[in-house]
Amino acid sequence: MIAVYLILLIPLGGIFYFAATGHKPNAGRINNWLNAATLAGSIWLALDVLIEGPWLSSDGELYVDSFNVYLIVLTAFVGLTTAIFSAPYMAHELRVGRLNNNRLRLYYSMYQGFMLAMYLVLSTNNMGVMWVAMEGATLATVLLVSLYRTPESVEAAWKYFILCGVGIAQALFGTILLYFAAGQLHTEGGSENALLWTVLYENANLLDAGVMNIAFVFLLVGYGTKIGLVPLHNWLPDAHSEGPTPMSAVLSGLLLNDALYAVVRCKMLVDGATGSPLAGHLMMGFGMVSFLVAALFLHRQYDIKRMFSYSSIEHMGMMTFAFGVGGPLATFAALLHMTVHSLTKSAIFVTVGHASQVAKTQKMDRIRGLIKTQPEIGWGLLIGTLAIAGFPPFGVFTSEFLVLIATMHDYPWLVPLLLLGIGIAFAGLFRNLQPMVYGEVPRGQKAVAANLFPVMLHLALVLWLGLSIPGFLSNWFAQATELIAGSSPL
């Protein structure tokens, strides 16, 4: 399919274009057009896959099915809306002196580099290339986190690089174990096809169960670091708080999803090889611990971007838990939660970026009275937080409710822990939100130019998904669920 190659080639060309011209006034507009073209290509690809079924390239290196094509569309959509917000935001950062022309070129070039790495993670059929693409995303994000070149941003970038480097090394060893297990197969193409996911999946029952179990432990720890699972989560709050806000939006909305996607692909192989629930139980354990720890840490934050980064850890923990529970209902709920969390959290970070510009700080005790200073920002932050906290009728409520039902059916003794975590997280978010939105306006706090189109669009979609999931999207999720869990919930 030509669309797959377009999705990869457009951001690749953008890297080199912006490296030379990213400082020009029209760079933000060009970035928008590149991301719009990629979104159009992803929709074209999705229509082909939904009509004709999964697609495998002639050399076997690229593979698209109902699971990854939906994430490709989501990635392209969030990439475009964040780029629309990014253009005026980064122009403001240039005007106030936080950036210079060289760093602006770096920003736009690495934005496209980050998007390319994410598309490659999702579209490759080679588990080794997936690892390389994930490492490429790490390197692009390191450069974005340190963009402001303050001591704090450089420290956050190094912490991110070191912790994710340790994690990705574990994933590399797990990938090597996959190759070792596949080396015992006698498949067409020999060792050249040993890391192709489709080959491994078709022959999963022939893979050594012991090796695959060990491999999954390393893969879960490795890619789990990128997801932000406890205890290797400490990079995520620092990266969010010190990097530019558009980077926080795509990091929370896209990178974490793609790392979880890699873990789920690996789980499918291990389940087929072992026939045991070990992989699922490991995901449930890591997911539940991350969910509860992040909910508690929401109460100890003073920086608004750090608070919402812990909210991301909390929700990624719930998704990991849901995929671990398995079964068609839990898997459907996890796929829906991936979607609504990406849309909601990226919208929240857009409002957070503008709120920080209004208050000239990210410290929550100095962000006050946003509804009085600039009502659209205050209402955007309030509604976004209501959505991410799981208030009905937003889509996050629907997905969390489905996770609770699935857990009640298979593991009823874990339901109180889920309810406790949701309650703690709700309290942590709103104890800090209320004064920021309704408090007394501090002297000197003035409105700023704000582009809230992405916020309104994302929250409208999340509300729509909470009220009624469109038929084409529910069928999409059902196909992906059948691929992952073996049966459809519909």
pLDDT bucket at 118, cuts 50 / 70 / 90: very high
Beta strands in 82-234 (DSSP E): none
Percentage of the chain with pLDDT > 90? 43
- Which tens digit of pLDDT belongs to each residue from 101-116? 888 899 999 999 999 9
CB-based contacts of 395: which residues, under 8 Å, 6+ apart?
336, 339, 340, 343, 344, 387, 461, 462, 463, 464, 465, 466
- Which tens digit of pLDDT belongs to each residue from 393-412? 999 999 999 999 999 988 99
Give the 3-state secondary structure of residue 25.
Answer: coil
Whole-structure pTM value = 0.93
**Mean pLDDT calculated for residue range 201-222:** 89
- Which tens digit of pLDDT belongs to each residue from 413-470? 999 999 999 999 988 888 888 888 887 888 777 777 777 888 899 999 999 999 888 8
What pLDDT was estimated at residue 354? 85
What pLDDT was estimated at residue 314? 93
Model confidence at 486: pLDDT above 80: no
Q: 189: burial class by Cβ within 10 Å (0-12, 13-18, 19+)?
A: exposed
> Rounded to the nearest 5 degrees, what angle is found at the Cα of 245, between the Cα atoms of 441 and 370?
15
Placement of tokens 């508690």 in the chain: 296
Q: What's the Cα-to-Cα distance from 395 to each of 246, 390, 469, rounded to whole Å?
A: 23, 8, 9
> Rounded to the nearest 5 degrees, what angle is found at the Cα of 377, between the Cα atoms of 372 and 383?
105
* Spatial contact of 270 and 279, defined as CB atoms under 8 Å apart: yes
From 291, 340, 339, 347, select the one nearest 315 (Cα to Cα). Answer: 291
* Spatial contact of 145 and 244, defined as CB atoms under 8 Å apart: no
pLDDT bucket at 489, cuts 50 / 70 / 90: low
- Which tens digit of pLDDT belongs to each residue from 338-379? 999 999 999 998 898 888 888 888 888 888 888 888 888 889
Q: Whole-number mean pLDDT of the chain?
A: 88
The helix/strand count (H/E) of the chain reads as: 20, 2
* Spatial contact of 79 and 115, defined as CB atoms under 8 Å apart: yes
Is the alpha carbon torsion for 236, 238, 241, 246 positive or negative? Answer: negative
